Amino acid sequence: MANIISDETIEYVGILAKLELSAEERENAKKDIGEMLDYIDKLNELDTSGVEPMSHAFPVNNVFREDVPSEDDGREKTLANAPERGGDSFVVPKTI
Amino acid sequence: MKQFETVIGLEVHVELATKTKIFCSCSTEFGGEPNSHTCPVCTGMPGSLPVLNKQVVEYAIAVGLATNCTITQNCKFDRKNYFYPDNPQNYQISQLYLPICRDGSVEIETEDGGRKNIGIHEIHMEEDAGKLVHDEWGENSLVDFNRSGVPLIEIVSEPDMRSADEVVAYLEKLRLIIQYLGASDCKLQEGSMRADVNLSVREAGASEFGTRTEMKNLNSFKAIRRAIEGERERQIDLIESGQKIIQETRRWDDAKEYSYAMRSKEDAQDYRYFPEPDLVPIIISDEWLDEIRSRQPELRTEKLERYKREFNIPEYDAGIITSNKKLADIFEETTAICNNPKKVSNWLMVETMRLLKEHEMEPEQITFSPENLAKLIQLTEDRAVNSSVAKEVFEKIFEEDIDPEKYVEEHGLKAVSDDGALRSTIEKVIADNPQSVEDYKGGKKKAIGFLVGQTMKAMQGKADPAMVNKILAELLQ
Amino acid sequence: MSLMNLTAVELGKKIKAGEVSVEEAAKEALAAAAKKEKAVNSFVTIDEEKVLAQAKEVQRGIDAGKYTGPLAGVPAAVKDNMCTEGMLTTCSSKILGNFVPTYTCEAVLNLERAGAVIIGKTNMDEFAMGSTTETSAFGATKNPWNTEHVPGGSSGGSCAAVAAEECSYALGSDTGGSIRQPSSFCGVTGMKPTYGTVSRYGLIAYGSSLDQIGPVAKDVTDCAVILEAIASHDKKDSTSIERKDCDFSTALVDDVWGMKIGIPRDYFGEGLDPEVRDAVMAAAKELEKKGAVIEEFDLSLVEYAIPAYYVIACAEASSNLARFDGVKYGYRTDGFAGLHNMYKKTRSEGFGAEVKRRIMLGSFVLSSGYYDAYYLKALRTKALIKQAFDKAFEKYDVILGPAAPTTAPRIGDSLSDPIKMYLGDIYTISVNLAGLPGISLPCGRDSGGLPIGVQLIGNCFGEKEIIRAAYAFEQTREYEHSPLA
């Protein structure tokens, strides 16, 4: 395997992705990501110099909305699935 | 002793004055019950998609043009990924790779009266986050998404400022431009204008920049000044004691006058930007740019010239009135009603300024209506109130925006110009004060002042002093 | 004979003629599902009461002349990644196990406007990540042709439900082949439209720049009619395209005289099951017999599509799935210490292994220092792949090839080796990268009796071309009902 994924990398990516892996999952992830990257490295065979990166397959642009407000009170729908609701707000563990 | 130079760049966030959010039709109105101005889009519901508010693009372009920027005619949005509960999708739609405006500048006046250009690196559009409310004792925070998705522009300056004064001058200049454009009300205290300060110090004469820190949570000019002084001292202390400055984000605590590092293992500060696939590119044609350019409102310099020319207002006064969009708006609206620019200017320059200072208010916080000021001016013109009553009434207008006509009526403050009543009161005053009459007739012209005073007293202040003088002089003949 | 043996259009005609009531049709679908679900597990949610209420409502609408289209009253199923107001929408994930949306996916609304009766929500690979429908948190779906085999994925539930005749047709979504590959495995017809043809509003995103909703049905006619109903220019989806040519059913003509059909040699190389190759080549022959001009050519870049796809799809997914954090909806872990621990535990417990694998990969390729090497490289590759197709479509009206290299594998065989599983998407993935339309329809069965699908790929907005070719080919064979039908 050309791409060796370290424990630190898995830890770091876990922080970015907010995933906490078990010992077994970590080992699997190291192996899987390493193998996937080896496979993805195949792209390096391609000469892409001078090629514009393409986000959208065809050119659609300038899709806008006019600045007209809706008068709906979204409260109940917004909170309908809240795991924990406090008054009209979502409750989360203290952030400071 | 070494001399140090402070190097400052600002990231200024400005909430745009649109009616709706940047990517959905929810209202941007301030206040409201928590989560009342929300929908699936601004709360990150699965399957919801953003659609860009055209007005946001137009405001951003307008600000860019007014700050001499180059407009990016093919611009895009990117996603900035980070987890935080006020960020409902756990990514913020912003612009990294192709911001809408680049390479601009604004000119400020320095302390010594000179002029200096502050470079603008870029202006980009993005969405605001929701609000977190923390209860002091509990273990929880509450999330309200009413502000989530409110449009912002972030104006990133070059590291061109060297002192707190320059920073304040730059912010005031930006605020003035943006207010004049109508793109935002730029209220620091309400958070519709927020500044993050990037600051480093270096030995005087050094050519390289030092390591910078970023300070957040600055919501007044005072806090900005104190934070700059505090951070400058902290960095100099570190350097002088041989320590290294760490590039980090710090939170300014204005009460403690100290900044704290916002470091955490969980804040990797690796935002994994990539082009937002749910939005399409914005192509800004030359025609569109011209159209926006032609719609740009009159900015300060033009307005100042026009006031001098059209209203014959002295340069100094015109300068003060146009130094603030709110004052200029009140001036123009009031003048449009009463057609008396001189008087309007006087009320703004003298009484309004005095009261603002007394109440420690910014002109933006003025609540009185041009209609009521115009009515008051008309009352004085008609001599229906004298000047001291007018001042008293104006205070009421300033504080509660009362209708001066009604107020004067209800409180019996109307100047008595009715000849009969006044004449008989004066006759009585003359009869009661023979000594003064004698003094006056004997050549002590000043004695008339006492008689006027007595008359005003008898009239409970409601007489027009000019009229009193006139009748007295006539009766004493 | 059950009403569910009919195609959607056939059943729609009977309902329109008053021979069958909407309620009768719905009841037959519900009865079929009740009987077969144990064996197939196509559905995550079926709400009988709601279905019957909707059936009555639609019948009233038909009687009142409100619904006059060919799909009025016909029972449909919807993949469980499309939001349905008031009905559980899980993406076959524990993290959305209790999520009841307050809004309905635009494509489903369009179906409802056409008078569809939604029978239920179909099983899928968790968040559409997979090619077997084994990664569902609610158990694997089985292939109605042989329940020891997978139905393919990720729209395996939709395809199995159509093949098992638990509904008349279904909606699926296709990010890298998720409609076409399971359609081929289940012996049904499935179509992925040009990107932007069907609104994505309310479709829970996997890879936003690749996702597209499409029909799964018994035949090409149904697919054309369903696509006509769900295609719309939606102002809520900025990537939605305004098309004036959505009258897809006008392309249902048995005439391919002079049509130029290209067969990419690259699609017939190593890894392709000889039985699949033969069946697909035989399909090409049939079209040639009808006057189409068949020619082999080199498409090129085929082997680069999968790595480019996994970079782009995983990167987008890592961001799209960040919103599942236990704050606003869905699963939240029970015990936690502080905010970040809540996030991590919620997500680690709520997502399955394949989803976590892709989120990790996606986060990695976007992380500081790797963006250019991986993400931009993949976007450049995507541009080259699009160019290769553009070049091919200068010469050909339609490209023909297999939908998948093999027939449906046995349950449990794929997940052990992710790269092997990913390779199964080799013929479908580049179509998503280039935003093109593609259709898969049955063209035979292997020696084990499992269905084989032929794929037709069109130029962008070329739906009518592939519908015409598919329809012409379909006329050469009979529809084969699965043993569970």
Residues B113 and B73 in one domain: yes
Q: Are residues B404 and B444 in the same domain?
A: no
Taking the Cβ of residue A28 and every Cβ of chain B, the question of whether any pair is shorter than 8 Å is answered with: no
Task: Judge whether C161 and C46 are in contact, CB under 8 Å.
Answer: no
Structural domain ending residue among the three candidates B240, B265, B288: B288
Model pLDDT for residues B362-416, shown as the tens digit of each residue: 888 899 999 999 999 999 888 888 888 899 999 999 999 999 999 988 887 777 6
Q: Hey, is the C-beta of B39 within 8 angstroms of any chain A C-beta?
A: yes
Q: Identify whether residues B164 and B310 lie together within a single domain.
A: no
- Chosen domain end from B260, B288, B316: B288
On whether both B272 and B195 belong to a single domain, the answer is yes
- State the Cα–Cα distance between residues A41 and C373, nearest whole angstrom: 9
Half-sphere exposure of B465 (CA within 13 A, CB side): 14
pLDDT at B421 over 90: no
Which of B9, B45, B55 is CA-nearest to residue B214?
A: B9
What's the pLDDT tens digit per position in C284-301?
A: 999 999 999 999 999 999
- The contacts found for C33-37 with CB under 8 angstroms, 24 or more apart, are C33/C119, C33/C120, C33/C161, C33/C166, C33/C167, C36/C144, C36/C164, C36/C166, C36/C484, C37/C166
Instruction: Write out pLDDT tens, residues B254-281.
Output: 888 888 887 776 777 899 999 999 999 9
User: Which of B370, B392, B410 is a domain's end point?
Assistant: B410
- Residue B293 maps to a domain: no
Give the span between the Cα atoms of C179 and C181, in whole angstroms: 6
What is the domain extent for residue B471? 419-476
Q: Which of C92, C131, C136, C154 is catalytic?
A: C154
Cβ within 8 Å, pair A63-B51: yes
Task: Assess whether B25 and B125 both reside in one domain.
Answer: yes
- Chain B residues within an 8 Å CB radius of A70: 20, 25-27, 39
Let me know: does C202 contact C82? Beta carbons within 8 Å: yes
Question: For residue B150, is it within any domain?
Answer: yes
Predicted pLDDT of residue C379: 97
Closest partner residue to C238 among B81, B266, B278, by Cβ?
A: B278
Per-residue pLDDT tens digits for C111-156:
999 999 999 999 999 999 999 999 999 999 999 999 999 999 999 9
- The answer to whether B268 contacts A16, with C-beta atoms less than 8 Å apart, is yes
How close, in Å, is residue B51 to chain C by CA atoms? 6
Judged against a pLDDT cut of 90, whether residue C92 lies above it is answered with yes
Assess if residue B72 is contained within a domain.
yes
Catalytic residue among C16, C36, C42, C79: C79
pLDDT of res. B461:
79
Query: Half-sphere exposure of C27 toward its Cβ, with a 13 Å CA cutoff?
Result: 6
> Which residues in chain C are closer than 8 Å to A16, comparing Cβ atoms?
363, 367
User: For C127, what's the count of Cα atoms within 13 Å in the CB-facing half-sphere?
Assistant: 30
Residues B117 and B177 placed together within one structural domain of the fold: yes
Residues 6 or more apart whose Cβ sits within 8 Å of residue C243: C197, C231, C233, C461
Any catalytic annotation for residue C154?
yes
Indicate whether B193 belongs to any domain. Answer: yes
- pLDDT for position C394: 98
User: Is the residue at C111 inside a domain?
Assistant: yes
Cβ proximity of C12 and C70 under 8 Å: yes
Q: Number of structural domains, chain C?
A: 1
Verify that B68 and B185 share a domain, yes or no. Answer: yes
Q: What is the CATH number for B435?
A: 1.10.10.410
- Cα gap C23→C372, rounded to integer Å: 56
Q: Which of B23, B26, B137, B142 to mutate to test the interface with A (most CBs of A within 10 A)?
A: B142
Residue of C nearest to A36 (CA): C419
Whether the per-residue pLDDT at B429 is higher than 90: the answer is no
- Mean pLDDT on C427-438: 97
Looking at this predicted complex, what is its ipTM? 0.96
Give residue-wise pLDDT tens across range B57-114.
999 999 999 999 999 999 999 999 999 999 999 999 999 999 999 999 999 988 888 9
| A residues 30..69 contacting C (CB < 8 A) | 32-33, 35-37, 39-46, 48, 51-58, 60, 63, 65
Of B49, B83, B143, the CB nearest to C238: B49
Residue B193 sits in the same domain as residue B73: yes
The answer to whether C208 is a known catalytic residue is no
Q: Look at residue C407 and tell me if it is in a domain.
A: no
Whether residue B134 and residue A65 make contact (CB cut-off 8 A), yes or no, is no
Q: Tally Cβ neighbours within 10 Å of residue C86.
A: 12
The whole-angstrom distance between B79's CA and the closest CA on chain A is 13
Task: Write out pLDDT tens, residues A5-18.
Answer: 999 999 999 999 99
C66: annotated active-site residue:
no
Average pLDDT of C69-81? 98
Token pair belonging to B399: 């504080």
Say if residue B21 is in the same domain as residue B127.
yes
Torsion of CA C387, C389, C391, C395, to 10 degrees: -170
Q: How high is the mean pLDDT of chain B?
A: 91
Asked if A67's CB is within 8 angstroms of B38's CB, the reply is no
Q: What pTM value is reported for the model?
A: 0.90
C-alpha C150, offset from chain centre: 15
Let me know whether B406 and B424 are in one domain.
no
Per CB-CB distance under 8 Å, the chain A contacts of C434 are: 57
Residue-level pLDDT at A56 = 86
Q: Which of A22-26, B429-433, C1-5 has the lowest mean pLDDT?
A: B429-433
How many CB pairs lie under 8 A apart between chains A and B? 131
Pairwise CB contact (< 8 Å): B19 & A69: yes
B430: pLDDT confidence band, cut at 50, 70 and 90?
confident
pLDDT higher than threshold 70 for residue C277: yes
CA dist., res. C95 & res. C346, Å (int): 8
Q: Using alpha carbons, select from C111, C90, C113 the residue that is nearest to residue C101.
A: C90
Alpha carbon separation from B175 to B78, B106, B465 (Å, rounded): 27, 11, 44
Among chain C residues, the shortest Cα distance to B266 is held by C340
Q: Is B91 helix (H, G, I), strand (E, B) or coil?
A: strand
- Structural domain of residue C34, as residue ranges? 3-254
Give the whole-angstrom CA distance, residue B81 versus residue C307. 23
Q: What percent of chain C has pLDDT over 90?
A: 96
What pLDDT does B96 receive? 97
Mean residue pLDDT of chain C comes to 97
Cβ–Cβ below 8 Å for A61 and B83: no
Residue of A nearest to C301 (CA): A46
- DSSP states of C257-292: TT-EEEEEGGGGSTT--HHHHHHHHHHHHHHHHTT-
Asked if residue B252 and residue B310 are part of one domain, the reply reads no
Residue B177 has pLDDT above 90, yes or no: yes
Q: pLDDT-based confidence at B417, cuts 50/70/90?
A: low
Mutate to test the interface with C, among A32, A68, A70 (most CBs of C within 10 A): A32
- Judged by CB atoms closer than 8 Å, whether chains meet at A82 and C301 is answered as no
Evaluate whether residue C428 is within a structural domain.
no
Min distance A25 CA to chain C CA atoms (Å): 8
Q: Is residue C172 part of a domain?
A: yes
B472 pLDDT band (50/70/90 cuts)?
Answer: confident
Highest mean pLDDT: which range of B111-120, B467-476, C33-42: C33-42
What span, in angstroms and rounded, lies between the C-alpha atoms of C268 and A59? Answer: 32
Q: pLDDT tens digits for B158-171?
A: 999 999 999 999 99
Chains touching B, CB cut-off 8 Å, 3+ pairs: A, C
**Number of domains forming the structure of chain B:** 3
Whether the Cβ atoms of residue C464 and residue C170 lie closer than 8 Å to each other: no
Confidence of residue C424 (pLDDT cuts 50, 70, 90): confident
- Which positions in chain B touch A76 (Cβ < 8 Å)? none
Quickly state the pLDDT bin for A1 (edges 50, 70, 90). low
pLDDT one-digit tens code per residue, B274-290: 999 999 999 999 999 99
Q: Is the pLDDT reported for residue B137 higher than 80?
A: no
Same domain, residue pair B188 and B116 = yes
pLDDT tens figures, A34-80? 999 999 999 999 999 999 999 888 889 999 999 999 988 999 999 99
Q: Test B278 with C327 for CB contact under 8 angstroms.
A: no
Residue C393 lies in a domain: no
Residue B447 confidence (pLDDT): 81
Instruction: Identify the sign of the CA torsion B289, B290, B296, B302.
Output: positive
What pLDDT is attached to residue C419? 75
SS3 B97: coil
Q: What is the pLDDT of residue C398?
A: 98
Neighbours of chain C (3+ CB pairs under 8 A): A, B
Q: Check A65 against B142: CB less than 8 A apart.
A: no
Q: What are phi and psi of A93, to 5 degrees?
A: -60, 145
Q: How far is C394 from chain A (nearest CA, A)?
A: 17
DSSP-assigned beta bridge partners for residue C453: C442
Greater confidence (B119 vs B265) lies with B119
Task: Say whether A13 and C343 touch across the interface (CB within 8 A).
Answer: no
How many Cα atoms within 13 Å fall on the side-chain side of residue C39? 21
The confidence score (pLDDT) of residue B1 equals 67
Q: Where are the strands (E) in chain A, listed by range?
A: 64-65, 85-86, 89-93
- The pLDDT tens digits of the residues spanning C320-349 come to 999 999 999 999 999 899 999 999 999 999
- Chain B interface, best mutation among A18, A71, A79, A88, by max B CB count within 10 A: A88
Categorize the per-residue pLDDT at A86 as very low, low, confident or very high, splitting at 50, 70 and 90: very high
* Closest alpha carbon to C91 in C136, C130, C52: C136
CATH of the domain at C248: 3.90.1300.10
Q: Which of B42-51, B118-127, B415-424, C440-449 has the lowest mean pLDDT?
A: B415-424
Instruction: Note the pLDDT of residue B436.
Output: 84
Minimum CA–CA partner of C235 in chain B: B51
Is there a contact between A83 and C308 if contact means CB atoms under 8 Å apart?
no
**Looking at beta carbons, which residues of chain B come within 8 Å of A68?**
19-20, 25
- The C-alpha of B40 sits at a distance from chain A's nearest C-alpha, in angstroms, of 7
Any domain includes B66: yes
State what percent of residues in chain B have pLDDT above 70: 98
- Segment C221-244 mean pLDDT: 97
